[in-house]
Amino acid sequence: MSGMKTERFSQVVLLAGAGAVLAGALALLAADGPTGAGGAGGAPGTAGAGVPAGLAGPAARAAAGVEAGAGAALPDLAALIGDREAWLRRHPDDAVSWAVLGTAYAEHGVRAGDPAAYPRAERALRRSLEVRPAAEGNHAAVLGLGELALARGDFGTARRWAERAAGRGASTAGPGWRVQALLVDAHRGLGDDAAAGKALERLRKLRPTSAVAQARAVELYRDQGWREDAAARAHDAVALSGTSVERAAALRRLGDLAWERGYAREALARYEAALRVAPGDAPSLAGRARALAALGRTDEALRVYGQALEARPLPDTALEAGDLYAALGRDAEARERYALVVGLAETAASYGVSTALVRGRYEAEHGDPDRAVASLRALWRGGHRSADVADALGRALLRAGEPSRALPYARAAGERGVRSALFAYHRGELERALGREGAARRHLEEALRINPYFSPLYAPAARRALAELGEPPEEPPGR
């Protein structure tokens, strides 16, 4: 669907990043003694495995899960936040607890689709650095600020915080693997696959059997078009998962990989397996809706999209739902969802989230293409040069009436290795506009071969375009 992949990075990989950074904060919290180890009850010492003593019930489960970089369920994470807030009211100079609280706010914001949590996260993390500066070894707060930047889609800033942590010695201390995990995510967001690959190798040396490393390998291998390798690592991530949150994310990745190959039934089964492990998981709900629509179960798909938006109100999910309504000829409901895209994007932007990609895709197809070009060009010039940005900018330029300027971006998106039906469709339509009928026919056919269900709007459009192009001309005799 339009924007199908755009925000999945923040829904899947960033969650693992937040858990990893929070794990570092918790480990330091346990090591810092009485002022950093007590729960709301204030008991010093540790309760084993890097979990602060004095925690019980949901807060303890959250601490145990994130200590291993595995994440935590939202109710448990809320309990951990409440515990640290209570502790800090009595111990306001506990730098590590401020870092724990800040990174927990950031993860909660990502998981709940609540960008209002990000300013709270930033205040807590900067308070941590005021109490204990980075020069004194406050890796938890530095990494927390990197994760916060990642959650906001500011990949350049995330990379700088990770590099700062490495420069302060975190690359060899306990948080070293977390530095590398953050670098993988940041480099991927910027479109630097080579640097992401190097960071992944360092991560795998530090955490060779962790689901955290396998999850990032899945995403990077997928970016490079190594489908079988990505699937193998995704299966490994399922086996290595330590919590229900981590296992659901791993199953969801298997669903994503199946979907992108056009295996709608397999994708549906994977998403439903993820939902059995973590009921209400918003990205799995969105994936389930996508697969249901491909299988012709459109009423059910629309209902599930509503559930996904209720669980985590993200503009890309609203865009997908809008496209399905539009494909069904339900124009009034489509307009409602498209208005929701704009509203959610504007709200997120007010809290410092970069929404240029999803907003650019919306504007190119349903709004103001010139506005899409301006925002996506700014994103590109700012160093965000992923295949997603290249594809979106090429599409926006075509819709704005500048097909010749669009071609280099379409080529950049298609030549990165990602096997994307949407990218192939966009390139085919661009080449058709340029009068390159042979190339257009080839890429439109490729889009439908990769995934014949890739969008309820644009898969049918690809079929219509092929019909209009007709069969290729026969070669003249003697040639």
Q: How far apart are the first and last CA of the chain?
A: 41
How many folded domains does the chain comprise?
3
Span 354-406, pLDDT tens digits: 999 999 999 999 999 999 999 999 999 999 999 999 999 999 999 999 999 99
Whether 387 is covered by a domain: the verdict is yes
**DSSP collapsed to 3 states, 263-306:** CHHHHHHHHHHHHHHCCCCHHHHHHHHHHHHHCCCHHHHHHHHH
CA distance 140 to 36: 12
Which residue among 282, 310, 338 closes a domain?
Answer: 310
Do 284 and 400 sit in the same domain of this protein? no
Whether 478 is covered by a domain: the verdict is no
pTM listed for this prediction: 0.87
Span 319-368, pLDDT tens digits: 999 999 999 999 999 999 999 999 999 999 999 999 999 999 999 999 99
Do 21 and 101 sit in the same domain of this protein? yes
Do 217 and 306 sit in the same domain of this protein? yes
Do 40 and 106 sit in the same domain of this protein? yes
Domain extent at residue 229 = 210-310
Whether 479 is covered by a domain: the verdict is no
Do 408 and 441 sit in the same domain of this protein? yes
Inter-residue contact 44 to 29 (CB < 8 Å) = no
Do 386 and 435 sit in the same domain of this protein? yes
Residue 12 token pair: 């899947």
CA distance 56 to 428: 57
Do 126 and 263 sit in the same domain of this protein? no
What's the mean pLDDT in 117-124?
Answer: 97
Do 296 and 325 sit in the same domain of this protein? no
Question: DSSP assignment of 314-359, as one string?
Answer: -HHHHHHHHHHHHHTT-HHHHHHHHHHHHHHHHHHHHTT---HHHH
Residue 52 — φ and ψ, nearest 5°? Answer: -60, 140
Which residue among 183, 207, 231 closes a domain?
Answer: 207
User: Residue written as tokens 């898969």?
Assistant: 459
pLDDT band (50, 70, 90) for residue 473 = confident
Do 8 and 142 sit in the same domain of this protein? yes
Whether 475 is covered by a domain: the verdict is no
Which residue among 207, 239, 260 closes a domain?
Answer: 207
Dihedral (Cα; 323, 327, 330, 334), 10-degree rounding: 10
| pLDDT at 472 (0 to 100) | 78
